[in-house]
Structure 1
Amino acid sequence: MRLSKIKLVGFKSFVDPTVLHLPGNLVGIVGPNGCGKSNIIDAVRWVMGESSARSLRGETMSDVIFNGAATRKPVGLASIELVFDNQQGRLGGPWAGYAEIAVKRSVGRDGQSGYFLNGARCRRRDIADIFLGTGLGPRSYAIIEQGMISRVIEAKPEELRIFLEEAAGVSKYKERRRETETRVRHTRENLERLNDVREELGRQLQHLQRQARAAAQYRECRAEERRLKAELLSLRWRALRAELESHQGDLRREETGLEAILAEQRRLETRLETGRLRRTELNDAYNEAQGRYYRTGAEISRLEQYVRHQEELRERREEDRRQTATALARIEAQLAQDRIQQTEWTQALAAAEPNLVEARSGEGEADAGLSAAASALQAGQAAWDRFSHYSGEIEQRVQVEQTRTSHLERQLEQGERRLERLRHEQDQLAAAELDRQRGGLEGLEPALAEDVREAQQRLTDLEAEVSATREALRQADLDIRLSRERIQAGRGRLTSLHTLQEAALGRDAAEVNEWLQGRELAQAPRLAERLDVEPGWEIAVETVLADWLDAICVPDLGALAPAVEERLRGRLTLFEPAVAKRDARAAAGLAVKVQAPWPLLGLLDGVDTAASLAEALARRAGLAEGEVLVTPDGLLCGRHWLRLARDGDDGGVLRREREIRRLEPELQEAESRLQERSARAEQLRMRLHDELERQRREAQQTLSDRQRDHARIQGQLQALRVQWRQARDRGAHLVEERAELEERGRHDREQLQLARLRLDEALAARQDLQAERANLLDARERASEAMRQAQARADAARREVARQTAAGETLRAQLAAVRQALERLDAQRCQLQLQHERLEPADDTAGDAALATAEDELARCLETQLTVEAELREARQALDAQEAALAEAEQSRGRCEQRAEARRRAIEDRRLAWSEARIRQDTLGEQLRELGAEPEPTLLKLEPGATEADWLERLAQVERRIQRLGPINLAAVEECAQLAERKQFLDAQNADLLDALTALESAVRKIDGETRTRFQETFERVSTGLGALFPRLFGGGQAHLTLVGDDVLDAGVAIMAKPPGKRIGAISLLSGGEKALTAIALVFAIFQLNPAPFCLLDEVDAPLDETNIGRFGALVQELSARVQFIFVTHNKATMEIARHLAGVTMQ
């Protein structure tokens, strides 16, 4: 740990905020005289807890605050902050984890200091605890200021011991030992006080135990009374429970009936919902059947067209086959006649060429006509298909709108019937009458509630008054008991004092008393009984008068002379006041301190007073013969002698007499006050039992009656509120339902109007389609006829072309070459044969099969159409039947709702009766809980035949027994228990204190042992270090430490030094420089043992010469490896060893 910086604000000469950085382990502070260098040393000591202003070179603590100058005003606050570098964690405990520790102290003009640790306010003790054992402190060996070197050397042994204790780290042990001794002393004081309290508690406990037994009987009677009250209330609660069970049974039956009706209603609603779903399903089935019917019609139309087309194709193939066969036969014939008719064919070829061209031209025209006819037929068929689809949609729209219109009309009719029922139900609701009744009861309820509150308040006030009276009575009984105990204690004390006084004054001597009785002097006063001594001088007067205190005051000594001459055993002193009255001298000396009916100069002559033994010894030389001095403690002093002449029994005679005189009137006054308190307590007791208890019972009965009336009205009001809320909610529900039905009706009417419009539009569209249907059918027939004719012409043209081509080819072949005629005819024949094979009936078989399939499909579609039509009729009938069933179910549900409403009204009546009984039962339950009981467990303990009348009689008997008990201290049981518990606690505390005392004494012994061991070790090590450093600083010689005293714990420490060339002897014989070097050697020896984090040296080198300064500088440099040195110096050689110089100016 190293001191890194010092922050000074307003401290002495440092008025402005100043920060002194200390970057190394050798820092020198330089400056002219008077600039304030030493104020830095004072600042460090002040922060570390210095509380003596004189040690800081001031008169008061506020002197450390800058007090102004010629050009600067004073300031009101001074603060110093030391910042430590704790990166090595030398500070242990909670501060080990902080790399930097800031310690700050501030003071204002009021002299109050504030301490801070890292910015947090703390105590001065906390600052001291941090530096305990580190060698740092306000007066530790680590801060060596101007003149301190000589004070260290010239210090007393016990003062020098403090430095070694700090180095040994036993200062915290000494602090702990002082705290432990303080705790031991406090523990012993606590034990003494505790024993006194335990004795007093023992006496009080005996008295309270007698009262507690009487209170226990009273509490038993009260407990029996509470038990009987609880049982009586439980009997009433049981009767109400039976009534509640009856109401509950009726309510369950009504609710069961309601549940049955609601179950039937839910069943009907389920039927309705199922019927609606069935109606939706049937409607969907009807629409689906209607869609199938239309789709079947469209399919029939398509199949009819397909059959007609297939028949046309078959006829066309038959024609082609006949033509091919004819051509083949013709070629065959021509082949036979080839060679014969070659010439004919040449001529024929020439004639056939133009015919062939013409035939081909006709074939092209026929094909074009066929294509146009086919396109026209296809367009017509597409138009017919579109028309069929559109007409189907129109027909479907018509059916849908017709169905929707019918449904909306029926729904509107049902809504009107429902609205009529709702209007009738609204007219039947009696919400206004219920509201009127509710308003009447609500107006009555606050008054009843106010009555209940007044009764409750009256009962609360009475109970508070009863409690206050009981408390006052308890306190009065306690005061009476305490007064009696004090009177008894006083009488005991007075009796003891009288006994002691009689014994001291000789009244217990039987033979002397008999002698006095025979002379009628038995009642004669003793001298001590007639004296009044100034307080504080009783012992002195008793010492001087001694045996005269029991002297009997008699009227005439001469008259008793014969009797005195008789033989009498014992000691007897007689005093004649009449003779003493004739002494007219002025009182002096001790006689001034004594007041009596007559002067006592004869007994106190020559006795003077002295305030103390020292005064008596000082004045004894002036005493005449026979004169003595007496002190308040009873010491007698003559010119040549001193005597203590106090006896154990007579030593307190006058004090006892004074106490007897004081106690007698005090006891009389206490007895008078006791009588007054007893009378007051009796008045309170009579008022409590005769007046307040009766008023409380009446208030309790009044409260019960008003609570019962209030509960009845609340029950009726609650029932009316329930009925009114039900009627209001039902009315609101009816209004909402009517609004919903009306809105639904408006919506349905709008939808019906739209459906009718759409139906009219669909019907009109269907009507418009009739003419278009006829036109399309006629156009389709014409297209088909044109197609057939174009096909016939095309076929004829193709046949003609084929014929001409074949003839031409034959002629050309024959004409081209006779040798190829047969081949060409064979090729042509093959070609015709292939064509003929393509047109074989096998091809017709596939077409005939497709045609037969289409005809069968058409027949099935016609049958399906009949079936779908039948299904459509059945779906329409089922839909109508479902609509009728739904209407019947709606009527049944309405009848169920009427029966359910009647049941609800009956249930509300039953609930109202049940609520009234329940409120009465709850009231009884509350009263039972106030008595600390529950009805069920109480009833289980009752006899089987218990009745309310029997319990009323038992309760009256218990109340009479309570009245016969008379006044009772109810707090005695609790007080006795509390007192016993307290005594037990005090006994345990006494044992704990004894254990703690033993532990503390053991801790003191352990601390002493640890302190002795550590101090002895430190003493030896410091002495060894001093012996090693002394020769280095002096260039020779020797020095060591020695203990002054036998006990290591208390022995002082002295330094024995022998500089070179001198004999070992007292330190006071050394020169100033030698003393300084010796002090430095001691401080550095301590540093080597337990180095403080830093060391402040304030002009320590001032008395040293150059040679010693060199040795001092070398030693400081060597030790700076472990210790941070901050030194104030004027010496250049010392400045040279500094690694950092800080200058202080006069500005």
Structure 2
Amino acid sequence: MRLTSLRLSGFKSFVDPTSLGLNRQLMGIVGPNGCGKSNVIDAVRWVLGESRASELRGENMHDVIFNGSGTRKPAGRASVELVFDNSAGRLGGPWAQYAELSVKRVLSRDGQSVYSINNQVVRRKDVHDLFLGTGLGPRAYAIIGQGMITRVIESKPEELRTFLEEAAGVSKYRERRRETEGRLSDARENLARVEDIRLEIEQRIGTLTEQAAVARTFQEKSLLRKERQALLLALRRHEALTTLSRHQGERNAVQTELEGLSARLTGAALEAEQARPALDSTASELQRAQAALFEVNTKIAGQEAEDRAQQQIRDRALQSQGVLALTLERLTQEREEVESLLLRAQEEGLAATAALAAQGERVEHARAALSPLEERAQSAAMSLSELRATLAAAEAESRSLLTRQEEAQQNQARLAQRLKEIETAISSLEVLSPDALSDARTQQERALTEHQEARSALDRLTSELAGAEASLVSAQSNDVHAQNQAGQARAQLQAQASLLHQMEAKGQQTEWLEARSVSHTQRLWTQLSVADGWQTAVGAALSERLSAVALSNLAEVLSFTSNPPSRVVFFEPPRGDTLAPSDSLATKVEGADVAAETARRWLASFRVIESLAQAIDRRGELGADELFVTREGHLIGRHALTLHGESDDDGSGLLAQRDAVRGLQIKVNEAEAEAEISRAALLRAEQALAAARTSLKQAQQSEERLRGQAHEAELFVVRLQERADRLASQSAELARAQSGLQAELAQNLGHLERLAAEARASAQAAQSFRDQIEASASESELASQALSAAREILSNTEREQQDLRLAERSAQEQCSRYEAQKVELARRQEESEERQAAAQAELQSALDALAQSALQSLLASRIEHEQGLLAARQAAEAASDVVRQLDERRLSIEREALPLRERLSQSDVAIAGAQATIDQLDQQLSEQEVDIVSVVAGWPNGLPPPDLPKANALSAEVSRLSRDIESLGSVNLTALDELEQAREREGFLKAQAADLFLAVETLEDAISKIDRESRALLQSTYDSVNDNLSRLFPTLFGGGDARLVLTGEEILDSGLQVMAQPPGKRNTSIHLLSGGEKTLTATALVFALFQLNPAPFCLLDEVDAPLDDTNTERLCGLIREMSAKTQFIFITHNKITMEMAEHLVGVTMQEQGVSRLVAVDLEAAHAFGQEAA
């Protein structure tokens, strides 16, 4: 393995892309001081992963990026690339397959550092691992920079052991041991964490076992209650079917008896219908007389209204004349006020013009006073400028002194070079923030607090889950109750609607009308709305007319007059309004549609009265066609009285039944709304239960996660405390060495103090000039203030002048406005006089119209029509008596049928109720998902067995089971599943703990094996290095003895010391040797390591500087000998070392701050010289 090329771009002084070919075993780099030769060594160390800025001769890592020169801008990034020949496959691992390897590092100014191997981005650790065991690395013995030879010899025993480990190739074992220890620590921590979690799981299993027992009891009792409820519903359904069958038989018997009475009723109704034409004729005459009288009354009312209108016109004209007179008077006053305001505005305008002229003179005077003040301010400013120039000269002298002081400080920095070495060691220590431990403990406390909060939240969510389950049970009970109420209401509505349909369809009228395409919705009673309490009275008064059929034209009846089953009444929309007394039954009819108007016309002759006794006493007040009617439906005429019985089928039942159906419909709607609300509440309870379960699961996961975080935070605090203690010990040791060097530096501060005194004197002189400038500035400020005050006076005077101009303009505008108002008021006065003349003409016209009224002739005509109406009413009363007697006979038959209809209706209601109960039970069975067939499968012949409990007993048992379930309290229905999960998790944790125990044992065995192998390898390497050192040391010194000595018994932890005795010396410490002897000793040690584990290349930075020519020749001879296995790249100023190089590379800096390369192949140059000779 050999380094073939080095490529630099933007690194320190190598700003341009530079490639250094390294195709020889002995490469020399030469050049004058400060040309950038050592930057090549820094580049190699940096690309191999060096992270200490002090090792790269900088203050921070950004110093490696070219920072610009006098002619060049700073670079944006630094890039260094090493190219290796790996054809021998010395580099193992995943990169062994590549014959050539490229290692590159790029650093940009934004702080981003990128490593790559063969253009694949890798970590810094990957680069470090690539060269483990090869002797290469940022701190390995293969890179020997300026001063490193001395640091090798003077290094601590522990630091010297690092070189031995690298030579032995155990650094990769040590890295693996460190990783294994980390995994072992993690395994032990995980084992402790698993054990903690397992103990908590055991406690939770105990709690869940109790909750699971309660949940199991809850499920068993709930299942038993469901079975008993299903059996109870099946039994009640059987009872409802039995009841339905019994009521259907009773209804059939009543229906047969009622059909016989219907035949008799049809005959009686036919006779009454034949007598009605005479009644209708007299009624028509009566209506015509009423219409004529109504027309006369209408004309009278119209004439009276016209007379009132003319009277209003006269009054309005008189009132208008009065208003116009007042308006004329007000306009005259306003015109006089405007003329007065106009005169005042003209006077104000003249005054403003005079004041404006005077203000102009004051403005000119203020401008004249401003000029001297401006000259004074300008003079003060010039004086201030001269003083500032003098101050600038004094400050320039002060800066010169500061420059000399900085030069002295730079001299002190050179003296502090040795101190920097100690500071470098201090900076290499890991810096632990003072607040890191406090923050870690705070984080630990926060983690513990969050874990406690999560635990509390878990307990709270467990309670909420129990509450949600109880709410769900309550919501289910409420939903069942609401559904039952809605079902009962629907059953009642169905029964009453069925009864209403039967009452409507009785007889054969419905079928006869439907056969002729007449809808039942055209019936009068379906469209009629009657005040509460008067349905019976309206039904008794209208009788069969309550079922009258609405037609658009009575002529339509001619198409289907054949074979009516009974009396059928038709009506067409009435024309004109119906006049009815205030006590007429027509006032109890509500609405304004055709049906209501028709009913009011028929009911106009029926007068309401509170009691039968009052009607008998007052019957003399009735006209020939009038009747009193009570709330109970009793009809009282002047000479007849008809009592309304409870069994009368006169149509009043239809209205009552219809209103009952409407009321039940409202009740059903309300019950269904309540059912929807309960169903929504049930849905919300189910959603709340699901949400509570989800929240509980999330809380359990969060609690486990936070428990782990709290444990990890605790471990982190322990580790951080150990690391802080270790860093404190190292820092104290380095601080002691630093204090010694700081004492030496204190002696060099005298010169700096003298320069500081001169700088202070210069600063005092400059301060004196500043004081003078301040005084001059004050005077200039006063002049400026006086100038500002004069300008302010001028500004105020000009502003007042502008205000006067505005006042003058305002006065002129007011004059114009008042002139316009004066003209407008004159125009409005003329218009008022014209309107007053028009009002006088309107008044005269109204007086003429009142004189020509025709009211008296209309009053005489009304008397004649009232006499005709009296005669028509007497004829109608006689016809009405005949029809009434026939109706009473028909009503008598209907009374006989009414009890049968009542029984039929009761049977229908009972049948509908039984059917509704069956439907409700079927709905409950469906909602509870009960198969009725499977429930009654064991019943003999579909009948309940004798040993089956009664419905009351089953209901009591269901109630008892419900109470038992409620007594269980809050039930965690998920406890069974959670218990199973907890047991599974416990088993998993036990298996995981066993695996971790096995992993700990395996890792401990691996560490023991690594220690054994490392100990054996280090011992072998130690012996070999000692052999090589004892051989190379006499070669470099021409005699003497050197060896490595262990400072402890355990070689894995023991440090190393170098014992070296040059020829003729018996020194007890290497620190007693001279600088050259230390350099040769360190070189011998490094080469001893090389011979054991030769690195691919070795970088030497002026290591021959302390040596004389003899020792340099010995060093060069040794390097030539070792170059057979190792590539050497050396930087030197020594001509003897230059002669050793096979290839020389010159570094120049013709452009200030920019390094360039000049390469010379010495073998090729020598061959060229021989050819030229």
Normalising to structure 2: TM-score of the pair? 0.38
